[in-house]
Structure 1
Amino acid sequence: MTLPVVAVVGPTGSGKSELGLALARRLDGEVINADALQFYRGMDIGTAKLGPAERQGIEHHLLDVLDVTQEASVAAYQEDARRIVGDVRARGRVPILVGGSGLYIRAALDRLEFPPTDSGVRARLEAELAATGSAAFRQRLRAVDPASAERIDDDRRLVRAVEVHEISGRPFSAFMPRREYHQPAVQIGLGVDRDALRERLAGRVHAMVRRGLADEVERLAADGLRDGRTASRALGYGQFLRVLDGSLTEQDAIEETIAATRRFARRQLTWFRGDPRVAWTDWQAPGLVDRALAIVRQHGDIS
């Protein structure tokens, strides 16, 4: 029997965690986190991370694996997620990816190869670009990778493309992702009513503040949150760091967080709507779990 990877995707606040948990119970599955901010220890309230009791005994992977000073890496996530998927499948259970970080979902599911990097090569190429100018450097790239030379419009990516070719001998364009699963998978998207989601997100931010988001940010600031390139820019955390610094009032931080969260949800919807493989179902439909199970059974060999 083929055990596909099940991915529950959609915008923030749409109920992905709850559906993933329900599917894990019904399918004898284990949950693999695909929310880049839930990797961080201590970032609980502002990321709506399910606590240990809320996980209801379902095994959850890749939660609380980074300190706030560390930078999340898609390439590292791909390696970790695929290893865990293999372990879950080897136990005869169903791996269930849950999250709204689109690139991380693709890294886990798709034939996506990350180009190599070398800081020494990059530094040398940056110096060469500064000496010769963008036009000459673009011509150099055109000789080995005309597709990238035509598409790239900034110096940083010009250097990156030449770096990749120099290290690997392959054009940067050869590493472009394809919408092709590297193993059997099904993606379930939670389709939302946008006006209802807007209201839910506002209520969610207010609830996070009542639960102690400001105190959580203060604790994490003592652990180096400001030094974390990824964590410090997280929704709510960046705003409440400014409250701590005295440059923003709490009310303004709340309003900014609500606005930023709504923009983020729109970007997530655009990302996932752009993938024709996602099977959508209404987030508030009666019998949502049964509908999601029907999608899984339609796309994968699960009895």
Structure 2
Amino acid sequence: MAEWDKPCLAVLGGPTASGKTGLSVALARTFGGEIVNADSMQIYQGLDVGTAKVTAAEAQGVPHHLVGFLAPEKAFSVADYVEAAGRCIGEIAGRGRLPFVVGGTGLYIESLLEGVRFAPQKTDPALRAALALRADREGPEALYAELRRIDPAYAAAVHPHNKGRVLRALELYYTSGVTMTQQREASRPAQRPYNALVLCLDWPRGQLYERIDRRVDQMLERGLLAEAELVWKNRESYKTAAQAIGYKELFPYFEGAAPLEACAAKLKQASRNYAKRQLTWFRRMEGVVWLDGSAPGVQQAAEQAIRGRFAL
């Protein structure tokens, strides 16, 4: 299939606090588009402040999909995302509107763009239980270090404390001898499913870190503490949220082990480190058009790139 016969898709990625929400809404309003979320935490219900979920005022009437639709107790895989986002994109295009995929979860975005087909994985409950026990005894860093030795490419995209993904990758390797990276390579179709333009926001590092620190302060003012306490109290059932940046850094405060100021500082540092990992992921993707988020004309540059790509 020729590139121009494929469905058109605009993607806006970038690190946390880079301005994706505001720019994506402006672009969707300009081009009559709808937005499909590509943030792995914004899919959950009730976790609004800590995930910087778009508000009704920020959305300005632009339809947003895959936002706040899943209970925090539920698991949601990359395969689930590719299926759900693909369905949304088809429906948006069917209405004659331009789909915008927006978020900072590079694994979701890349898997969607490449049309990765996820084959059923072999499972070994006994092995998974043994790995989980090791994680509890030795700490998540030990298993993450093991994953880095086995599959450094995949490990680079996974947070060391994301126990679910680390365990799945190790389980896959020990049951099949295949790494997650190798499985993903084998699952890519010969042709990508979309005529996609991928825009990514970047900022001078110092300015980005200032934005991240300011956002954390604003989240605390807007009720992050109460939201994080909810996650802490339900940490056994809210397994994904309990591992997420924005919540787990505040757990020591609820446990009486650290003052709030120290936890907030740790959250800022964790968010800055996450931004670096996001940028690393997007920089290794092919064909990305980088935009300077600090430039006054960033919206005009994005509009020009979209018009040029899709002849709008």
TM-score tier by shorter-chain length is 0.7 to 0.9
Partners of 2:121 and 2:172 within 8 A in 1: no
Match of 1:161 in 2: 176
Q: Greater CA radius of gyration, 1 or 2?
A: 1
Q: Is 1:211 aligned to residue 215 of structure 2?
A: no
Structure-1 residue corresponding to 2:10: 6
> Within 5 Å, which residues of 2 pair with 1:105-254?
105-119=109-123, 122-123=124-125, 156-162=171-177, 172=183, 175=186, 177=188, 181-222=192-233, 224-254=234-264
Shift of 1:299: 2.1
**Can you list the C-alpha shifts for 1:10-36, whole angstroms capped at 9, x where unaligned?**
110100011110111001000100011
Aligned partner (choices 103, 106, 129) of residue 102 of structure 1: 106
One-letter amino acid of the counterpart of residue 30, structure 1: E
CA distance in 1, matches of 2:52, 2:298: 21
Question: Corresponding residue for 1:267?
Answer: 277
Among 21, 24, 47, the alignment partner of 2:25 is 21
Q: Distance in 2 between matches of 1:47 and 1:177?
A: 30
Q: Which runs of 5+ in 1 are unaligned?
A: 128-150, 165-170
Shift of 1:124: 8.1
The separation in 1 between residues aligned to 2:82 and 2:275, in whole angstroms, is: 23
Deviation at 1:249, TM superposition (A): 1.6
* Per-residue deviation, 1:252: 1.2
Greater displacement, 83-92 / 62-71 = 62-71
Using a 3 Å threshold, how does the CA distance of structure 1 residues 27 and 89 change in structure 2: closer, same or farther?
Answer: same
Cα RMSD of the aligned pairs, angstroms, is 2.8
Contact 1:161–1:172 (Cα < 8 Å) also in 2? no
Maintained 8 Å contact 2:245/2:271: yes
Q: Distance in 2 between matches of 1:71 and 1:6?
A: 27
Residues 28 and 11 (structure 1), Cα distance of their counterparts in 2 relative to 1, 3 Å cut:
same
Counterparts of 1:97 and 1:174, CA distance in 2: 22
Structure 2 SS opposite 1:37: coil
* 1:68 aligned residue (51, 64, 72): 72
Aligned match of 1:298? 308
Identity %: 35
Say if 1:35 and 1:100, in contact at 8 Å, map to a contact too. Answer: yes
Tell me, in whole angstroms, the C-alpha distance in 1 between the residues paired with 2:300 and 2:175: 46
Q: Is the 8 A contact 1:69 1:225 kept in 2?
A: no
Deviations 1:155-179 (A, max 9, x none): 6443343589xxxxxx847625589
Tell me the secondary structure at the aligned position of residue 236 of structure 1.
coil
Provide the aligned length of Structure 1 versus Structure 2. Answer: 271
Structure 2 counterpart SS, 1:253: helix
Q: What is the deviation of 1:226?
A: 4.2
TM-score of the aligned structures, taking structure 2 as reference length: 0.79
Query: CA distance change for structure 1 residues 270 and 174 in 2, over 3 Å: closer, same or farther?
Result: closer
Please give the alpha-carbon distance, in whole angstroms, between the structure 2 residues aligned to 1:125 and 1:220: 28
CA contact (8 A) 2:231 2:247 kept: no
